[in-house]
């Protein structure tokens, strides 16, 4: 199986490097020239709990010619998915499956615009990944990736991908209740990502602060109420347990939204807290905490040009 990955930042580097280390046929499609050149020159440096290694993995730019892949992981930020896929259409055949474990809601719908639901596999991951520098990724702590085929057509490929990831030391399962899992991750991220971004902190920062911990719990409860109104039954206690786990296992991990704010990049706030606010209005569920976090992050983004 020929595997391609686009949107290769921290998480894409972790997945791609792990699969390549396990001897799968993997190619990283990287737009960032500095990251791409570093991997070409010295391999991908991977710092994990179990080992440090340098992995040789093929790297190309999106504009380069390449035969279509059998499966393509999409690791872009939600707002960049359409542009990223349009840039690599020459690498997508009629039989190519697209895979998303991106943050937020509705990612499978976006992928289906390009290949149809029968060739979409989607899910979520709790794998933490930090890009230490060009060609250098780190990941620490326990994690799980859960996926499912959007239609039965790709069910066998979903099973095969889960097995491949497990072989590559990325624990993965196929979960038929994937929408509940995604909603749980969204509820988690509405608290963890936004709060960490505002205080430029980590899960450990929240765990060590009574004020931030209380706020995170309240945001989770609010987001779960919207999920229930939207017809997805998720257990708030399970989400709160994930928040506590992150405070223990991923204490020093910088969530993607923190890295975006530091780098003065557009965040995924619209696909997280923004989605909760929109659905809250649709179902007449008050979302004052998500509205406040959305407004605060939007305010931070508005300062980028002034501070640049």
Of 117 and 141, the one with more pLDDT: 117
Res 51: pLDDT: 83
Determine contact, residues 194/271, Cβ cutoff 8 Å.
no
Q: What is the mean pLDDT of residues 122-129?
A: 94
Q: Is the pLDDT of residue 305 over 90?
A: no
Determine contact, residues 88/6, Cβ cutoff 8 Å.
yes
DSSP one-letter string for 267-283: -SGGGTHHHHHHHHHHT
Residue 263 neighbours by CB distance under 10 Å: 8
* CATH class name, domain 2-176: alpha beta
Residue 144's pLDDT band (boundaries 50, 70, 90)? very high
Determine contact, residues 78/268, Cβ cutoff 8 Å.
yes
Fold matches, 2-176 and 179-303: no
Q: How far is it, in rounded angstroms, from Cα 84 to Cα 262? A: 23
Res 137: pLDDT: 97
38-80 pLDDT tens trace: 999 999 999 998 889 999 999 999 999 999 999 999 999 999 9
Strand pairing category for 52-55 and 44-47? antiparallel
Q: How far is it, in rounded angstroms, from Cα 292 to Cα 29? A: 37
Determine contact, residues 27/3, Cβ cutoff 8 Å.
yes
174-223 pLDDT tens trace: 999 999 999 999 999 999 999 999 999 999 999 999 999 999 999 999 99
User: Per the structure block, which two tokens stand in for 284?
Assistant: 């007449």
Q: What is the CATH number of domain 179-303?
A: 1.10.1040.10
Res 162: pLDDT: 98
Q: What is the mean pLDDT of residues 282-293?
A: 99
List the domain boundaries for the chain.
2-176, 179-303
Residue 230 neighbours by CB distance under 10 Å: 17
Among the options 185, 254, 282, 298, which is catalytic? 185
213-265 pLDDT tens trace: 999 999 999 999 999 999 999 999 999 999 999 999 899 999 999 999 999 99
User: Per the structure block, which two tokens stand in for 154?
Assistant: 């790709």
Q: Is the pLDDT of residue 308 over 70?
A: no
**pTM, whole model, 2 decimals?**
0.90
Determine contact, residues 290/222, Cβ cutoff 8 Å.
yes
Q: What are φ and ψ of residue 149, in 5° steps? A: -80, 140
**Spatial CA neighbour of 182 closest among 217, 221, 227:** 227
First and final CA of the chain: distance in angstroms?
Answer: 44
Q: Is the pLDDT of residue 307 over 80?
A: no
CA 131 from chain centre, in angstroms, equals 14
**Spatial CA neighbour of 294 closest among 194, 158, 200, 218:** 194
Q: What is the mean pLDDT of residues 118-124?
A: 98
Is the alpha carbon torsion for 234, 221, 257, 272 positive or negative? positive
Q: Is the pLDDT of residue 166 over 90?
A: yes
Helix (H, G, I), strand (E, B) or coil at 290: helix
Is the alpha carbon torsion for 70, 168, 61, 84 positive or negative? positive
Residue 140's pLDDT band (boundaries 50, 70, 90)? confident
Q: What is the mean pLDDT of residues 116-135?
A: 95
What does the angle CA 202 – CA 278 – CA 116 come to, to the nearest 5 degrees? Answer: 90
Of 272 and 51, the one with more pLDDT: 272
Res 50: pLDDT: 81
156 is catalytic: no
Range in 125-129, 165-169, 197-201, 219-223 with the lowest mean pLDDT: 125-129
Q: How many helices (H) and strands (E) does the chain have?
A: 13, 12
Res 101: pLDDT: 97
């Amino acid at each position: 199986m020929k595997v391609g990955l686009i949107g290769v930042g921290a998480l894409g580097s972790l997945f791609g490097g792990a699969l390549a280390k396990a001897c799968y046929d993997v190619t990283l499609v990287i737009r960032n020239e500095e990251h791409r050149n570093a991997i070409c020159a010295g391999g991908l440096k991977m710092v994990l709990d179990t080992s440090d290694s340098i992995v040789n993995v093929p790297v190309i730019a999106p504009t380069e010619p390449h035969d279509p892949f059998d499966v393509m992981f999409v690791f872009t930020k939600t707002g960049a998915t359409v542009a990223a896929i349009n840039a690599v259409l020459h690498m997508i055949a009629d039989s190519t499956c697209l895979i998303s474990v991106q943050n937020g809601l509705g990612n499978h719908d976006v992928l289906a615009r390009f290949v149809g639901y029968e060739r979409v596999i989607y899910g979520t991951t709790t794998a933490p990944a930090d890009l230490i520098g060009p060609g250098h990724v780190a990941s620490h702590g326990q994690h799980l990736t859960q996926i499912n085929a959007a239609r039965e057509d790709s069910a066998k490929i979903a099973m095969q991908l889960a097995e491949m990831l497990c072989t590559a030391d990325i624990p993965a399962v196929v979960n038929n209740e994937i929408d509940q899992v995604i909603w749980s991750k969204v509820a988690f991220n509405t608290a963890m990502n936004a709060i960490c971004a505002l205080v430029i902190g980590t899960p450990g920062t929240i765990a060590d602060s009574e004020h931030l911990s209380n706020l995170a719990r309240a945001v989770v409860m609010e987001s779960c109420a919207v999920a229930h109104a939207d017809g997805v039954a998720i257990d708030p206690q399970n989400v709160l347990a994930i928040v506590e786990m992150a405070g223990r296992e991923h204490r020093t991990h910088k969530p993607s939204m923190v890295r975006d704010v530091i780098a003065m990049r557009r965040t995924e706030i619209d696909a997280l807290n923004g989605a909760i606010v929109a659905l809250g209005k649709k179902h007449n569920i008050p979302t004052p905490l998500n509205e406040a976090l959305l407004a605060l992050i939007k305010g931070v983004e508005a300062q980028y040009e002034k501070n640049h």
